Amino acid sequence: MSKYLGECYCGLVKFYCDGDPFFTQYCHCNKCREIASKSKRDTDKQGYAWTAGYLTASFHITSGIDNLDEIIKNNAKLLLCKSCHSLIYGISLDPNKQAGIGINANNFHFTDTMPELFTPVRHIWYVNRIINFDDNLPKFKDAPKEQFGSGELWNEDDAK
């Protein structure tokens, strides 16, 4: 089984994930953009978040757990490093939706090239975007149904 290591920008919070993510995506929700803007890492401040979906049981913090700040935004609990403000992960506040978490994929360290499974497969909350993408990935107005969204895709007509 694969094991991926990661840490926040300043290195105080370290973690690993067992196995491959079940998806990666670009999130354009207001919550992710606001949290990313607090980070000291420039790649976190691009106007969207790059998240890797994992089962909660596959995520393990190995050091720095006392260096986490918890922020509650809308329906999610977000955990950031107190020092560099890198988002580590987010989890739903709804106990029925806590099997999976979204991990800030910028925090992973890959020894060679990024594994193919970390290539984003979609955009979510695209209606809230602040920059446009021409990348041929599906763009959901909110989120896919399996992420408790409407499953509706955004299209050019929505911008008019």
Low-confidence winner among 37-41, 117-121, 124-128 (lowest mean pLDDT): 37-41
pLDDT of residue 111: 87
Confidence check: pLDDT of 93 > 80: yes
Residue 38: what pLDDT?
Answer: 87
What residues contact 118, with CB distance under 8 A and at least 6 apart?
Answer: 21, 24, 52, 105, 108, 110
Asked if the model's pLDDT at residue 159 lies above 70, the reply is no
Buried residues in 51-69 as b, exposed as e (16+ CB within 10 A): bbbbeeebbebeebeebbe
Average of per-residue pLDDT values in the chain: 93
CA–CA separation, 105 and 91 (whole Å): 15
| Res 152 pLDDT > 80 | yes
pLDDT at residue 45, rounded to an integer: 86
Global pTM value: 0.91
Q: Which residue has the higher pLDDT, 70 or 36?
A: 70
Mean pLDDT (whole number) for 71-97: 94
Per-residue confidence at 160, pLDDT binned at 50, 70, 90? low
| pLDDT tens column, 18-44 | 999 999 999 999 988 888 888 899 888
Of 57-61, 72-76, 143-147, 153-157, minimum mean pLDDT range: 153-157
Local structure of residue 75 (DSSP, 8 states): T
The yes-or-no verdict on residue 118 having pLDDT over 90 is yes
